[in-house]
Amino acid sequence: MSLYIEKEGGGTGLPFDEEEIASLVVEASLEYIGCPYEAEIDLLLTHDAQIREMNRDHRGIDRATDVLSFPMLELEHPGDFSQIDEKTGEAFHPETGELMLGDIVISVDRVLAQAEEYGHSPKREYAFLIAHSMLHLFGYDHMEEEERKIMEQKQRDIMEKINIHRQDA
């Protein structure tokens, strides 16, 4: 697995090792969903002004958000990688052979604000946002009630797997 992390504006000010937690969550998510390939994910840590601009440009919503997900794959069924053809190579990095899942963008400002608002640690909020976004990269969504319930359960399962709980302060 390759996880490429870019930090806009230098340091994040988060009180933990962002790379260590991101790797933990990404690995656990890949294992949980049963991804049969080595994967590549890009993670951008940014701030409200930049994510607001991206949200406006890509989703037509002119406000900051906590996380944006940009999947590289369109899976017919969420979490089902059987339709990916290794021979065509379109979904795989030409040099590493890894499955290119997509990009995750997180607002560090939202991580800190939401952790305080929800009464848990910034580490827990950060890990949760990555787990949430990984599910989007696997094709899950939460637009319909049934989809939301499935995605929420999978998020809980991943957070349990990495032993980071909502009550963690």
Return the minimum-mean-pLDDT range out of 35-39, 73-77, 125-129, 134-138.
Answer: 73-77
Handedness of CA 59, 38, 83, 159 (dihedral sign): negative
Q: pTM of the full predicted structure? A: 0.95
Give kind and range of the element (H or E) at residue 45: strand 39-46
Return the residue matching tokens 């946002």.
129
pLDDT digits (tens, 9 = 90+) for 107-153: 999 999 999 999 999 999 999 999 999 999 999 999 899 999 999 99
Query: If you average pLDDT over every residue of the chain, what do you get?
Result: 93
Helix/strand/coil for 144:
coil
